[in-house]
Amino acid sequence: MRNIKMLIEYDGARYLGWQRLGDSGKTIQGKIENILTEMLGTKIEIVGSGRTDAGAHAKGQVANFKTTTDMDLTAMRDYLNRYLPRDIIIKELEEVPERFHSRYHAVGKKYSYYVWNTVVPSAFKRNYSYHYPENLDIDRMTAACDRLVGTHDFLGFSSLKKTKKSTVRTINEITIYKEGDLIHFTFIGNGFLYNMIRILMGTLLEIGAGMTEPEYIDSIFESGIRSDAGMTVPSQGLFLDEVYYD
């Protein structure tokens, strides 16, 4: 039995997210599984490193699947890219140990979020950034990021309901880079809760616009209440850049 690791890039604008649903033709996982099943002549299920939301994108999603085929990896990749939609690309295939699991063995992830920060929206950036017209103070947002970095209970920054699982996560780094009207935020951490980055972004934008102070981050950690944090920004500005493994 071979275990094949996949590095995947996709434009999620017209999909319902990563995870396979009843109508598999509208999810990234479903599209890839359908082509793999046709190619190998047997039902294939893939395991992703994690879900991405409807409309979100990936430059470095990782998944794996098991198969008994002796098909060459280059031929396999070329077949997939020939028959997958053009907004889903298999960048690399690699044979890995049988015990490798894309989700359980991931030790960290890097995400980007893009904000189009000017009064006039962009026709070309609309599917790949969030149009936020208010003036944003980078220094205020940077001060808030300093409070987010580290190990904290991020329950208040997630859409999770009651859960028995730990909501403690570590953010190693947050960076903010402005180029013209586009602001690029990056988040690197050991894991992220449901909607966590989108809520962190909503909170940072409200702080940057002067609606709340950077110190308010601390009170959200203390309360753990979702409604204390900022809005959940739309998904189209979110990219999964990289998944880290030991």
SS3 89: strand
Phi, psi for 88 (deg, rounded to 5): -130, 120
Phi, psi for 240 (deg, rounded to 5): -85, 110
Tell me how far apart the alpha carbons of residues 19 and 21 are, in angstroms, rounded to a whole number: 6
**Contacts of range 146-150, beta carbons closer than 8 Å, 24 or more positions apart:** 146/214, 147/214, 147/215, 147/217, 147/218, 148/174, 148/200, 148/217, 149/173, 149/174
C-alpha dist (Å) from residue 71 to 21, 95, 111: 28, 12, 33
Catalytic machinery residues: 53
CB 181, CB 129: distance < 8 Å = no
Q: Which of 218, 152, 226 is nearest to 195 (CA)?
A: 226
